[in-house]
Amino acid sequence: MLSIRDLHARIGTRNILKGVNLEVRPGEVHAIMGPNGSGKSTLASVLAGRAGYEVTKGSVEYLGLDLLAMEPEERARAGLFLAFQYPVEIPGVNNAYLLKAALNAVRKQRGEPELDAFEFLALIRDKMKLMQMDESFLNRGVNEGFSGGEKKRNEILQMAVLEPKLALLDETDSGLDIDALRVVASGVNSLRGPDRAIVMVTHYQRLLDYIEPDVVHVLSDGRILKSGDKSLALELEKRGYDWVRQEAAVA
């Protein structure tokens, strides 16, 4: 589904990604872990198409498409979803309005009929129950005045509504208390399925207690140094990242 090959990217003159290779198949859940500044969020941003990053080398194939040649909205319509680390506030733009526009853009691409306001409301009410969100969310401005936890929940709500094929979760666990983390995790888990892949970027093993990954990668200094199963995350929790770096240096 997603093949990242020798991906190099920079911001300005600063090289951040220095040869990332990653293969993600449908149904898989990957966790990308790594210390601060290792390039985790950059990877998510480059995949989603955020401006300001220059890809200097390498390729990304997504469902047979050249992902890097696509505009951000084309990527989204093709089923890519990024749950933001810091969701931005858009004052005055109704949450439901944005979501309905987004859903209909995606549905149009899939060749499905657009939903009218009633059909949309019925759909979103279901999804909101799942995320334990109050209906008043719908009429508030996008992320306007939301707490950190509310913003993250809202991201997963959007994911639930848009039903992406590939979801990138950028530090979705940061800033969440344990209750909120549970809600968010159960939302994500309910979206796991044989046709959907999830790539989580995170600092902490904590999230992986709730969303169990199939593969764990260690990203450090712009490269994936080590991959393994869930036990790798536990080992990282215990031993930190230095040993992985040393191991890589020896190899």
Partner 1 sequence: MSSNSQDLDAIVGQKYRHGFVTEIEADTVPPGLDEDVIRLISRKKGEPQFLLDWRLQAYRHWLTMQPPHWAHLKIAPIDYQSISYYSAPKKKDGPKSLDEVDPKLLATYEKLGVPLHERARLAGVAVDAVFDSVSVATTFKDKLAKAGVIFCSFSDAVLKHPELVERYLGTVVPYTDNFFATLNSAVFTDGSFVYVPKGVRCPMELSTYFRINAANTGQFERTLIIADEGSHVSYLEGCTAPMRDENQLHAAVVELVALADANIKYSTVQNWYPGDENGVGGIYNFVTKRGECRGANSRISWTQVETGSAITWKYPSCVLTGENSVGEFYSVALANHYQQADTGTKMIHIGRNTRSTIVSKGISAGKGQNTYRGLVKILPSADGARNYTQCDSLLMGDRCGAHTFPYMEIKNPTAVVEHEATTSKIGDDQLFYCRSRGISEEDAVNMIVNGFCKVVFKELPMEFAVEAQNLLSVSLEGAVG
Show the binding pattern over residues 97-126: x = contacts partner 1 (CB under 8 A), - = does not: xxx-xx--xx--x-----------------
Name residues whose C-beta falls within 8 Å of residue 12's C-beta, 6 or more positions apart in sequence: none
Sheet arrangement for strand 65-66:
14-24, 2-11, 54-62, 65-66
Beta strands in the chain (DSSP E): 2-11, 14-24, 29-33, 54-62, 65-66, 80-83, 90-94, 141-142, 166-170, 197-202, 215-220, 223-228
Q: Is 175 an interacting residue with respect to partner 1 (CB under 8 A)?
A: no
Q: Is 72 an interacting residue with respect to partner 1 (CB under 8 A)?
A: yes
Show the binding pattern over residues 32-71: x = contacts partner 1 (CB under 8 A), - = does not: ----------------xxxxx------------------x
Name residues whose C-beta falls within 8 Å of residue 180's C-beta, 6 or more positions apart in sequence: 149, 152, 153
Rounded CA gap, 10 and 52, in Å?
Answer: 9
Residue selected from 24, 29, 33, 76 as contacting partner 1 according to rule CB under 8 A? 76
CB 27 within 8 A of CB 194: yes
Q: Is 196 an interacting residue with respect to partner 1 (CB under 8 A)?
A: no
Q: Is 207 an interacting residue with respect to partner 1 (CB under 8 A)?
A: no
Show the binding pattern over residues 127-156: x = contacts partner 1 (CB under 8 A), - = does not: --------------xx--------------
Task: Between 31 and 44, name the residue whose CB sits nearer to partner 1.
Answer: 44
Which residues in this chain contact partner 1 in the complex, by CB under 8 A?
A: 48-52, 71-73, 75-77, 81-82, 84, 87-88, 90-94, 97-99, 101-102, 105-106, 109, 141-142, 158, 162
